Structure 1
Amino acid sequence: MESTIFDKTFRDREGKIVIAQVPNLPLIVWIVTSSLSLIFTTGIINTVLDVLATGSLFTWAWMELFQGVNYFRRTLGLFVLIGLVTLKAIY
């Protein structure tokens, strides 16, 4: 059977459509540290949480970009990586 662009974009190797997945460790760390930075809004704790959140989101995006299960996930990683770098360059 010939793969279509839809199959390459949204299906994994097993033929299942994959748009969202269970969060992996870098994404869980980003969620937790971002949430905690809403509680600790100033000081060294906020700075450490921001660094951890940025690093873990960067790691997640990098992993998606190079190890994503389909083109959609890889494109998502690319856009998050570009957005993260752009936001950090602006602020």
Structure 2
Amino acid sequence: MENTLFDRTFRDSDGNIVIAQMPNLPILVWITATLLKLVFTTGNIHSGLDAIAFGSLFTWAWQELFQGVNYFRRSLGLVVLVGAIASRLQWS
């Protein structure tokens, strides 16, 4: 099999096309914390959930960036990492 740009971008080491995967622990924690933030809209619990959501999304993006199975997953990690950090910046 030729190692084309398409293959390097979308295939894993077994030759399978991988765009989406089963959620891993950091993404499940992010989803849970984000949904709980809708219930607890103010106070210390909301702040704690916000920190947990950001930390777990950051962890997921970092793992995808450096351990993703293909270039698409690594690019997705980079985009999410940059977006998560940018969302935390205060634009004055």
Query: TM-score band (shorter)?
Result: over 0.9
Q: Give the secondary structure class of the aligned counterpart of 1:90.
A: coil
Q: Give the secondary structure class of the aligned counterpart of 2:89.
A: helix
Normalized against structure 1, the TM-score is what? 0.97
**Following superposition of structure 1 onto structure 2, how do residues 1-91 of structure 1 map, counting pairs within 5 Å?**
1-90=1-90
Unmatched 5+ stretches in structure 1: none
One-letter amino acid of the counterpart of residue 34, structure 2: S
Unmatched 5+ stretches in structure 2: none
Normalized against structure 2, the TM-score is what? 0.96
Q: Distance in 1 between matches of 2:23 and 2:79?
A: 18
Deviations 1:25-69 (A, max 9, x none): 000000000000000000000000000000000000000000000
Q: CA deviation at 1:90?
A: 3.0
Q: Distance in 2 between matches of 1:84 and 1:43?
A: 22
Runs of 4+ in 1 over 6 A off after TM superposition: none
Q: Distance in 1 between matches of 2:14 and 2:90?
A: 41
One-letter amino acid of the counterpart of residue 19, structure 1: I
Identical aligned residues as a percent: 63
